[in-house]
Amino acid sequence: MAAVWRRSSFSVKFAGVLLITGLVISAVPLWLSQNSTNSQSLDRAADKAGVAANLIQQQRASLAGFTTGVARQVAELTPPATYVALEEPLKQDASVNQTGDVVGVILPDGGVVAYGADGLVAQSDPLLLHLTDGVSAGRSMVADDSGQPWLLAYSPVAGSGAVAFTGRQMTTTFITAIDRNIATTADPADLIVVRNGRIAVQTTFVGAAANQGSGVAPSIHQAVSSGAPQLATLNQTSVALAAQPLSDGFSVAVATPVSAVTAAVTPLLVLVALILLAMLIIVAVVQSELQRPLRRLDRAVAALGRSDFDAPLPLGRDDELGRLAETFDAMRTQLRATIRASASRAAVATELSSSQPLETTLSRVVNELRSAVHADSALILVTRSEMSDSFAIVEGVGPVDVDSCLAGDGPLGVGYRQDGGGALLASSTPSSREAQLGMRELCVSPLRIGAHVHGVLAVANHSRAFLPSDVELVGSLAEQVALALERYRFLAMVQRQASTDDLTGLYNHRFLVDYLGQQVALAERLNAPLAVLMLDIDFFKKLNDTHGHQAGDAALAAFAQTLLHSVRTSDLAARYGGEEFAVVMYNTGSSEARLVAEKIRKAVSQTIIELPDHSRLAVTVSIGGAAFPEDTSSARELLALADEALYRAKGGGRDRTCMVSDDNHRGRAA
């Protein structure tokens, strides 16, 4: 061997030294890779344990929200909640909640009414004792007789000493659902719940059955006790263990597999050999020719690492280095576009999820879109709907007629009518409305949700064409905006339907009660005047009996329009029920309320109603009114006082106004 070494050339010796060095140092990356794998496994286990604990806490938070609704429902019972009165609402609550949940109320006298999946829970049931003791102790989790955990949420019932509570059992199905949320095919994980060194819920853990009540392995106990992730071998499998405390002695433990890196030895050696060979060629053959451009390329690549995507690259060479520079430049351009698009999507998502007015939100979206694609102009055109007229949000271009642009043959109209989603590139013809506005090159995407199109989102340039990345960004942002518009439309429809009466278009009884409650609280706190009018159409039942219910509906609708045009814009008119209506007038005294009432009464008497059978008739109205603080020291009595005054007006001959203050004046005069 020594003789062969002496007879070998320097190149052979140098290559041999490099090869041996590469083989020796390959063990170091292998060791580092194994350590890195172990560390990553521990981090994954800790992350998954934290996620599992958060998911369980989210379940309890959801349970707490439901329990608050139960407490509010119990508080609204009239008369106050009793054992018998609670059975039906609790039974309904238990039926709409998850199977197995226990919903109940602890009464002020210590009695308990609770319903579960099997119906009314017996007072002697040990589970009921555990749940009520948990409520008394302020716990968020309790264990039943078998040691199985229950999530517990409770809420005091306003206006009484009762407490509503809900218990949810952490079953095998519950644990399996949490496990599915933290595990993936590429990154599996197993989950158990532990208390006092024993398994609390029956499940499967690292390929074996984990029976409820059985003791856990020492490594699991160590991970739970110390709170630090552990490497262990369970069921002949290398795993990383991590645990997170839950509540009342319960903890959740997660195991993720630890992969060995032995399979990477051969690729690592091949990689080292190739690197060493490349180094030998560079040093021996082309070092001087590549030194300068490589330094420039190195500086550009380092700039990419610092997120500087504008650093120049050494382009123009027709060789490997030139092609490498072109590849890096394409990567730099694509990376810059991707980061820009991601930032724009995130910014738009933030704007669309905020609680600001819709047009303000869309203006910011248009600004973000124009900046992201460096466009000369950007716009969102929204079509007319049952909730709003058509409107345009534009930047960088003059006023746009939404209806004519979307109905036209230009790029905006074509994009609006295209089937499916996604953005399209189009050039406007000289005679098109887009060209007249200075938009020559456009990228347009419909704001489509299913079969419904809310409008279009578009960017435009005077001459510069758009890149494929711009098209992708416009299409994805259009999806976000379309979803936001659908959400705004749906919420507006729900809000309008929930607060208005279908027949008259006035606010309904529920909205009236909520609004009056707010105004009463404000009037009493500020000692400000507040007046209420109660109105009843005279002889309405006779009208219905004589002309039919369609005529009654026509009379109600006509009366509502007369009422709406007779009150001030600051007053609220609502249908109280049947033929009764109410008007709430903030910052209004008794004398002013009388003037408004008389104006309404006279306007109604002068209104001629055309019935479905083409006959015509006139109606009159009786009005009762009350004012705070002139008629009562408690603004909460206004509705009842106004109703009493209304009955006096009807008893006194109808077609008149009676105020509570009328009796007060007569009393003083007497």
Q: What is the mean pLDDT of residues 189-204?
A: 90
Q: Would you say residue 322 has pLDDT above 50?
A: yes
Q: What is the DSSP string of 311-327?
A: -------SSHHHHHHHH
Percent of all residues in the chain with a pLDDT value above 70, rounded to a whole number = 79
Residue 198, SS3 per DSSP: strand
Q: What is the DSSP string of 151-163?
A: EEEEEEPTTSS-E
DSSP 465: P
Write out pLDDT tens, residues 331-371: 766 666 677 767 777 877 777 676 677 788 888 888 888 88
Write out pLDDT tens, residues 582-612: 999 999 999 999 999 999 999 999 988 887 7
Position 117 scores a pLDDT of: 77
β-strand partners of 210? 203
Chosen CATH of 354-495 out of 3.30.420.40, 3.30.43.10, 3.30.450.40, 3.40.50.10320: 3.30.450.40
Q: Would you say residue 422 has pLDDT above 60?
A: yes
* C-alpha of 165 from chain center: 26
Instruction: Give the model's confidence band at 10: pLDDT under 50 very low, under 70 low, under 90 confident, else very high.
Output: very low
Distance CA 248, CA 244 (A): 13
Distance CA 23, CA 4 (A): 21
Position 525 scores a pLDDT of: 87
**What mean pLDDT value characterizes the chain?**
82
β-strand partners of 428? none
Q: Would you say residue 641 has pLDDT above 50?
A: yes
Residue 280, SS3 per DSSP: helix
Instruction: Give the model's confidence band at 667: pLDDT under 50 very low, under 70 low, under 90 confident, else very high.
Output: very low
Residue ranges covered by each domain of the chain: 8-260, 263-343, 354-495, 509-669
Distance CA 192, CA 199 (A): 7
Instruction: Give the model's confidence band at 274: pLDDT under 50 very low, under 70 low, under 90 confident, else very high.
Output: low
Q: Would you say residue 384 has pLDDT above 90?
A: no
More confident residue, 669 or 411: 411
Position 621 scores a pLDDT of: 94
Q: Among 291-300, 365-374, 517-526, which stretch is predicted with the lowest mean pLDDT?
A: 291-300
Write out pLDDT tens, residues 200-242: 899 988 888 889 889 988 888 888 888 889 888 888 888 889 9
Q: Among 182-186, 330-334, 516-520, which stretch is predicted with the lowest mean pLDDT?
A: 330-334
Distance CA 630, CA 663 (A): 12
The CA–CA distances, whole Å, from 170 to 213, 264, 271 equal 14, 42, 51
Q: Give pTM, 2 decimals.
A: 0.40
Instruction: Check if CATH label 3.30.70.270 holds for domain 509-669.
Output: yes
Rounded to the nearest 10 degrees, what angle do helices 638-651 and 660-669 cross at? 70
392 close to 433: Cβ distance less than 8 angstroms: no
- Residues labelled catalytic: 579
